[in-house]
Chains A and B, each alone.
Chain A
Amino acid sequence: MPLFEEFNRAFQALDQEHCIQLTYDALSNEIISVEDLYENVLRKALSVLTDKETDPTHKIWREHVQSSIVRTIIEMTYPFVIKQRIEILNKKAAVVCPDGEQHELGARMVSDYLRMLGYETYFVGRDTPRLEFLDMIKTLNLDVVAISVTNYYNLSKALQTVVDVKEHFPEVTLVAGGRGLDANAEVLVKHDVLITHDLNDLKRILGGNA
């Protein structure tokens, strides 16, 4: 059975052990790369999940268990991320979700992509207060800030954050991604934020030869 189908079957059955064994073996035996795993297995499995708006039988507790499975797999990939690192740049990046944003799995994957591209990467993650962004950029001396927005309500805070950062640190490169931007990229593009969907976009925008 193709990897995704087998994974998804276990994922739907909430069979954590099987999900982890499958993906670990596939990475170890170099059947797939970390990028394949994230794009064609994990993201794909997450994207077919329903939500309460479209499916009244949707259960949040299931979603939490599934998120936890994905999180465990992402944490497990660390040695493979390091192994698949393309080069080492002398640059720093942070991946952050704006105020109010509780979803951070997408952001977590992006932090591994940045690591693979050679950035010293800080995963800051969910619900980061808008007023702390400036302090974070200064303290960590960041070159790149990646912002992840899943719930489109949080675009408002993301937008304010971007305006703050552009005003105080115009030299910092801002990238953004996430489902919240799918229909609304222009809100941030207007403020010179670069939109990225996957590793290829990041490579093109932030890779060593860019």
Chain B
Amino acid sequence: MDNILELKNITKFYGDKIKTQVLFGLDLSFERGSFNSIIGQSGSGKSTLLNILGTLDRPTDGDIIINGKNTKTLNANALSQLRNENLGFIFQFHYLLPEFTALENILMPVRILGKKIDKEVMARAEELIELVGLSKVKNNLATQMSGGQQQRTAIARALMNQASIILADEPTGNLDSDTTEQIYDLMRMINKKYQTTFIIITHDQSVAEKTDRIIEIKDGRILMDVRKK
């Protein structure tokens, strides 16, 4: 199988003086184009794991291999380049920049890579805006959109650099059930259309049960790793 993302024997300790172990030797791999969820009790280590998967945080020990490249030996610059080119993030609180419009927020990853906003880039942004259903509010400031619209903006932003992997930490955490379903449908559609790999932390049964694989974390270990088919 073609694994886009692999974790080998990942451990994580927090703290300098008093060390607490949060992850205990996790091995995991994700197939290209797969649609996965991570569940588990509060404090079990899900966000810690996702931040390590996304190279936002370093493990205490172990290897992360993204698109065949081991991230261990990369310096900070190379790592952030790898991240910006391959990974998109969606969080429960979407961290949109409040003083910018939806469109400007969606264009932000391009600016961060230091690329020019040319015609082609604008066309992609417009296509994504259309895709996530934000055409009407694309010029609204982030603060002038509903929670669901802000979350869709965050999804479009995550897709702007054609990320092959989207990591989402409770993307529907503060949404009502209808909006949750819309966001799920949107992520699934993107998964099918672009073969984007999704790894979604969720407390929402209605989301987890529709993903193709559920990984349950308990006390920093994999309790269960099951597949729909």
Residues of A within 8 A of B (CB): 53, 100, 151-153, 155-156, 159, 182-184, 187
Interface size of B by Cβ–Cβ distance < 8 Å? 13
**B223 contacts the other chain (CB 8 A):** yes
CA distance A187 to B215 in the complex (A): 12
Question: Contact at A156–B228, with CB atoms within 8 Å?
Answer: no
Please encode chain B, from 116 to 144, with 1 for each CB lying within 8 Å of some chain A CB and 0 for all others.
00000000000000000000000000000
- Other than A152-B214, A156-B216, A156-B224, give 6 A-B pairs with Cβ distance below 8 A: A152-B209, A152-B226, A155-B224, A156-B39, A183-B228, A187-B226
- The answer to whether the Cβ of B94 comes within 8 Å of any Cβ in the partner chain is no
Chain A positions within 8 Å of B209 at CB level = 151-153
The 4 closest A-B pairs by CB, nearest first: A153-B209, A184-B226, A183-B227, A155-B226
Q: How far is the CA of A153 from the CA of B203 in the complex (A)?
A: 12
Whether B224 contacts A152 by the Cβ 8 Å rule is no
- Asked if B205 and A182 make an inter-chain contact with CB atoms under 8 angstroms apart, the answer reads no
Provide the bound-state CA to CA distance between A184 and B225, in Å.
Answer: 8
State in angstroms the CA–CA spacing of A159 and B223 once bound together.
Answer: 9
- Please determine whether A183 and B210 come into contact, CB atoms closer than 8 angstroms: no
Does residue B208 face the partner (Cβ distance < 8 Å to A)? yes
Q: Is the CB of B216 within 8 A of A152?
A: no
Instruction: State how many angstroms separate the Cβ of B67 from the closest Cβ of chain A.
Output: 26
Report Cα–Cα, A151/B229, bound state, in Å.
11
Chain A residues lying within 8 Å of B228, measured Cβ to Cβ, are: 152, 183
Min Cβ gap B189→A in Å is 11
Alpha-carbon distance A159/B229, docked complex (angstroms): 18
Which of A53, A153, A183 makes the CB contact (< 8 A) with B208?
A153
Q: Residues 158-181 of chain B: 1 if any A CB is under 8 Å from the residue's CB, otherwise 0?
A: 000000000000000000000000
Q: How far is the CA of A173 from the CA of B156 in the complex (A)?
A: 51
B214–A153 touching, CB < 8 Å: yes
Contacts of B194-229 to chain A: CB distance below 8 A:
205, 208-210, 214, 216, 223-224, 226-229
- CB-CB contacts below 8 Å: B66-118 with A: none
Inter-chain contacts of A187 with B (CB < 8 A) = 224, 226
Interfacial chain B residues near A159, Cβ < 8 Å: 223-224
Q: In the complex, what residue of chain A is closest to B207 when comparing beta carbons?
A: A153
A184 touches B216 (CB 8 A): no
Q: B227 — which chain A residues lie within 8 A by C-beta?
A: 152, 183-184
Task: Name the B residues within 8 Å of A183 (CB-CB).
Answer: 226-229
Chain A residues lying within 8 Å of B216, measured Cβ to Cβ, are: 156
Least CB separation from A158: chain B residue:
B224
Bound: A155/B210 CA distance, A? 14
| B residues near A100, Cβ cutoff 8 Å | 205
**A151 vs chain B, min Cβ distance (A):** 6
Residues of B within 8 A of A152 (CB): 209, 214, 226-228
Residues of A within 8 A of B226 (CB): 152, 155, 183-184, 187
Q: 13 pairs across A/B with beta carbons < 8 Å?
A: A53-B210, A152-B209, A152-B227, A152-B228, A153-B208, A155-B214, A156-B214, A156-B223, A182-B229, A183-B228, A183-B229, A184-B226, A187-B226
